[in-house]
Amino acid sequence: MNSEEPLVKIRGLRFARGERVIFDGVDMDIARGAVTAVMGPSGSGKTTLLKLIGGQLRPAAGRIEFNGQDVHRLGHVELFELRKQMGMLFQSGALLTDLNVFDNVAYPLREHTRLPASMIRKLVLLKLEAVGLRGARAMMPAQLSGGMARRVALARAIALDPMMVLYDEPFTGQDPISLAVLVKLIHDLNEASRLTSVIVSHDVAETASIADCIHVISDGRVVASGTPQAIAASDSAWVKQFMQGLADGPAHFHYPAPDLAADLLETERV
């Protein structure tokens, strides 16, 4: 595979939930070895995009290629193998509450490899060292702070040395110190391990500080793509509203609904 080819290529992506269109002809490239951010307000389909890339959801039209493979044309066994090349940091962390920190990180290694216990131990300790939590290996998830739990989840996400890590709102609910640690950690891991990172987020400043490329999505389409500097200088009213956190603009506060007066009258009839 040509190293200059995008690791992920999305072309003509269409996806809907019932009558609500989530993506309507999305084209997007995710470069190898880069930190790519997908940004947009809540409900714009960011997490859905990650599920489509991982093959958990199937598009109505279009194609998604990962490392040259059409994700949605793969059989179950091939898709299972492909997913081993993707790490996932869930928004909630999703640690297994009955396992301690060490066993949470060891879990994918035990499930997907035949490595001896001694090798798994070394790998787990190395991953925990990378996120600064080797000393917390005996702690249970309930004993961890929110920031620590997110870092353990990150260690688990990189346990199998994936080609790409998908981050679902990694900065949500973090205190300023934990947030700064996570931002630096994602950047440093990407550089040191030559990962490809995809961050979906609505945290503008933190995400833009480490992203090589930003895709801004709205109303089912990519409305802007480019470096953080190019996005910040965009003339698009929608991009300006989102990136600057403006109350007024093309993005509406109210979810689409019938006329209020008509709605109230209908309620009275009931």
| Angstrom distance (rounded) from CA 21 to CA 213 | 25
Which contiguous run of DSSP H or E holds residue 87?
A: strand 86-89
Q: Give the total number of structural domains in the chain.
A: 1
pLDDT tens-digit readout, 107-126: 999 999 899 999 999 999 99
- Asked if residue 233 belongs to a domain, the reply is yes
- Asked if residue 121 belongs to a domain, the reply is no
CATH code, domain carrying 199: 3.40.50.300
- Asked if residue 142 belongs to a domain, the reply is no
- Asked if residue 123 belongs to a domain, the reply is no
pLDDT tens-digit readout, 4-45: 789 999 999 999 988 888 999 999 999 999 999 998 877 778
Q: What is the mean pLDDT of residues 55-59?
A: 92
What pLDDT is stored for residue 126 in this prediction? Answer: 92
What pLDDT is stored for residue 270 in this prediction? Answer: 47
| Angstrom distance (rounded) from CA 206 to CA 81 | 32
- Asked if residue 243 belongs to a domain, the reply is yes
**pLDDT at position 241 over 70:** yes
- Asked if residue 97 belongs to a domain, the reply is no
pLDDT tens-digit readout, 84-106: 899 888 877 789 899 999 999 99
